[in-house]
Every structure is written in structure tokens, then in C-alpha cells.
């Protein structure tokens, strides 16, 4: 039997009668990088927001590790090991890169945001925070306030703060959005490295990144699953080609 970490059954979301996601039954296998793609308006973001609990479904169920999380809060599922990164930025601009990762480590430990905590106690996290900054390739910027980092480096910092939470599963919302060519390559490599020993589900528009990273791809169109498989299979699927052509998005 395949080992499925995240499963949806008939997941549906309607906005005042308009069905943005219709009866989506998805199975994400443990240890894989799974991408959700589709033309504009396909329902990817809505689906992603349902999975990360930022939206309530109007129908269907979501199961994480076999447990029904359909009505769980985002904080609940984060505690269970499923963490969302990107777009909703976890980065505090006025704090340095190191301080940002340190705070994420504190959160993981369950310490509250205690900004009055003594420097000495906070310093305990520095070693681990530096390891994470090193892992995402921005250790040399540890003392730079996040707001002064380049876009790509800020994203790397976001990844470091996500990794600090030691997620079992990471949900990445358009990790390459707004990136220049160089950064795309760097972040793609990073995602690949981070995915070792975890499961990643991402929504991504950059199809060459999707081709490079994903083990499995679900193509959505008009709120429904149009095709599923590896990149080879879905990119040759006539229905997928038609959906992309029809949207002027090929
Ligand atoms: N809050 C909302 N209220 C009403 N309609 C919505 C809402 N959110 C999304 N929709 C509609 O649902 C459909 C799917 O939107 P969604 O943003 O999920 O698509 P997407 O695949 O992420 O598109 P894109 O690639 O353009 O980001 C669209 O027609 C959109 O207009």
C-alpha cells in the first residue's frame, strides 16, 4: 500500500455559489515533492488555502497522517508537523537574519515571544540558528536586518525560519514568484535539499522548476483535477495542453 501523508476526499469550496474547487481528491505520498499546477484561475491558491486551513471547505475532508484535520486551525496543523512557507512571510523586517531564525527556534520550543528575555538565554539558540542560515546559504548576512536583504535572500531566510520548525511536511506557495533567473536556480536547489526526509507540496507557476523538482504533479483546471502523474506524462496529456493553450498561458 502506498504511504500517503496528506489526502483530500471530495474537497470543495464555493464562494457565494461559484465553485472554485470541486470534488478534489488528492493523495500526496510521503517523502515526495508534489506540485499543483494549472492555468490562471484553476483553483490552485484556493486549494492550497484549504489545505493550510486559511479557508474553510464547503465540502469534503482533509486527512493528515490519517487524521481528519478538516476543522483544525492553522496552528493545530503546524503542531502536527505541516508548515506553510512563503507569501505569508514569517520574517520580521527590522530584525537581523540571525534574530529571525532564533525567534523561529524559540517558537518551536514553545517559548513565547518574550522579547525581554535575557540575551544570555537567547544566545543559546545562536549555534543552531547559524547552522540553519548556513544551510540556506546566507550565513554571511546574519547581522543584516531582514528588510535590507535582497529578495532571493529574504526567501532563503523564510526557508530557514520554516526549517527551524522542523516540519514533517512543507507547503510552499509559489516559491519562485517574483524571482530573477539566478535566484530561481538557487532556491530550487535549496528546496531540493530541504525536501530530503520530508514531504513538500507546492503551488508553482514556473514549469521548468516544476519539471526539475517534482516527483508528482496534479494539474487543476476550472477547480477540478484534470491530470496527474510525473512531468513527462502530464506535459504530453492533450487535455493539459488544451487547458494551458485555452488560457493563453502556454
Ligand atoms: N474569495 C473569493 N471570492 C470569490 N471568488 C474567488 C475567491 N477566491 C478565488 N475566487 C475565484 O476562484 C477561482 C480560482 O481562483 P484561484 O485563485 O484559486 O486560482 P489559481 O489557480 O490560484 O489562479 P492563479 O494562477 O491566477 O493564481 C477564480 O475564478 C477566482 O476568481
The residue contributing the CA closest to ligand 1 atom 16 is 43
pTM for the full predicted model: 0.88
Atom number of ligand 1 nearest to Cα 46: 18
DSSP state of 176: T
What pLDDT score was predicted for residue 88?
A: 46
- Among residues 205, 208, 198, the alpha carbon closest in space to that of 220 is found at 205
| Ligand 1 atom closest to Cα of residue 203 | 22
- Calculate how far, in angstroms, residue 45's C-alpha sits from the geometric centre of ligand 1: 7
Our answer on whether the CB atom of 161 is closer than 6 Å to any ligand 1 atom is: no
Q: How far apart are CA 249 and CA 233, in angstroms?
A: 19
Measured from the Cα of 16, ligand 1's closest atom is 4
- Compute how many other C-beta atoms are within 10 angstroms of the C-beta atom of residue 94: 9
In a 3-state reduction of DSSP, which class is residue 23? strand
For the CA of 20, the closest atom of ligand 1 is 12
Task: Name residue 59's beta-bridge partners.
Answer: 12
Dihedral, CA of residue 197, residue 200, residue 204 and residue 209, to nearest 10 = 20
- The interface predicted TM-score of the complex, written ipTM, equals 0.94
Cβ(15) – ligand 1 distance below 6 Å: yes
Confidence label for 49 from pLDDT (cuts 50, 70 and 90): very high
What average pLDDT score do residues 14-41 get?
95
Quick one: fold of 1-81+168-250?
Rossmann fold (3.40.50)
Return the pLDDT at 114. Answer: 56
C-alpha distances (whole Å) from 24 to each of 163, 173, 221 are 29, 18, 11
Q: Is 58 helix (H, G, I), strand (E, B) or coil?
A: coil
Tens of pLDDT along 59-116? 999 999 999 999 999 888 988 999 988 644 567 889 999 999 998 888 777 655 555 5
**How many angstroms does the Cα of residue 20 sit away from the middle of ligand 1?**
6
Q: How many CB atoms lie within 10 A of CB 132?
A: 24
Mean pLDDT score of the chain: 88
**Alpha carbons 188 and 201: distance in angstroms, whole number:** 14
Tell the residue nearest (CA) to atom 4 of ligand 1: 15
The most confident of the ranges 31-40, 103-112, 239-248 is 31-40
- Cβ atoms of 162 and 170 within 8 Å: the answer is yes
Residue of the nearest CA to atom 30 in ligand 1?
41
Q: Provide CB contacts within 8 A for 236, sequence distance 6+.
A: none
Helix H or strand E encompassing 43:
none
- CA dist., res. 58 & res. 14, Å (int): 6
Handedness of CA 105, 111, 116, 118 (dihedral sign): negative
Domain(s) of CATH 3.40.50.300: residues in the chain: 1-81+168-250
Question: Using a 6 Å cutoff on CB, does residue 55 contact ligand 1?
Answer: no
Q: Which residues sit opposite 8 in a β-bridge?
A: 62
Reduced to 3 states, what is the DSSP secondary structure of residue 106?
helix
User: Over the stretch 145-156, which tens digit does the pLDDT of each residue have?
Assistant: 999 998 888 888
Amino acid at each position: 500500500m502506498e504511504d500517503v501523508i496528506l489526502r483530500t476526499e471530495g474537497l470543495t469550496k464555493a464562494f457565494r455559489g461559484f465553485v472554485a474547487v470541486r470534488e478534489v481528491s488528492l493523495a500526496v505520498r510521503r517523502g515526495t515533492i508534489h506540485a499543483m499546477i494549472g492555468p490562471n484561475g484553476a483553483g490552485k491558491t484556493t486549494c492550497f488555502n484549504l489545505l493550510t486551513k486559511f479557508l474553510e471547505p464547503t465540502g469534503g475532508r482533509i486527512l493528515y497522517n490519517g487524521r481528519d484535520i478538516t476543522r483544525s486551525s492553522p496552528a493545530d496543523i503546524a503542531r502536527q508537523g505541516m508548515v506553510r512557507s512563503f507569501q505569508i512571510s514569517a520574517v520580521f523586517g527590522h530584525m537581523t537574519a540571525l534574530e529571525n531564525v532564533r525567534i523561529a527556534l524559540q517558537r518551536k520550543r514553545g517559548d513565547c515571544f518574550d522579547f525581554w528575555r535575557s540575551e544570555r538565554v537567547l544566545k543559546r539558540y545562536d549555534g543552531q540558528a547559524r547552522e540553519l542560515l548556513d544551510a540556506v546559504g546566507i550565513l554571511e548576512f546574519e547581522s543584516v536586518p531582514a528588510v535590507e536583504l535582497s529578495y532571493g535572500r529574504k526567501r532563503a531566510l523564510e526557508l530557514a525560519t520554516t526549517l527551524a520548525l522542523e516540519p514533517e511536511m512543507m507547503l510552499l506557495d509559489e516559491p519562485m514568484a517574483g524571482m530573477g533567473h539566478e535566484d530561481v536556480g538557487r532556491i530550487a536547489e535549496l528546496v531540493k535539499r530541504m525536501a530530503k526526509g520530508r514531504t513538500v507540496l507546492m503551488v508553482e507557476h514556473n514549469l521548468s522548476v516544476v519539471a526539475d523538482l517534482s516527483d508528482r504533479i496534479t494539474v487543476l483546471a476550472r477547480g477540478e483535477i484534470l491530470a496527474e502523474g510525473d512531468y513527462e506524462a502530464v506535459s504530453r496529456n492533450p487535455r493539459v495542453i488544451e487547458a494551458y493553450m485555452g488560457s493563453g498561458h502556454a
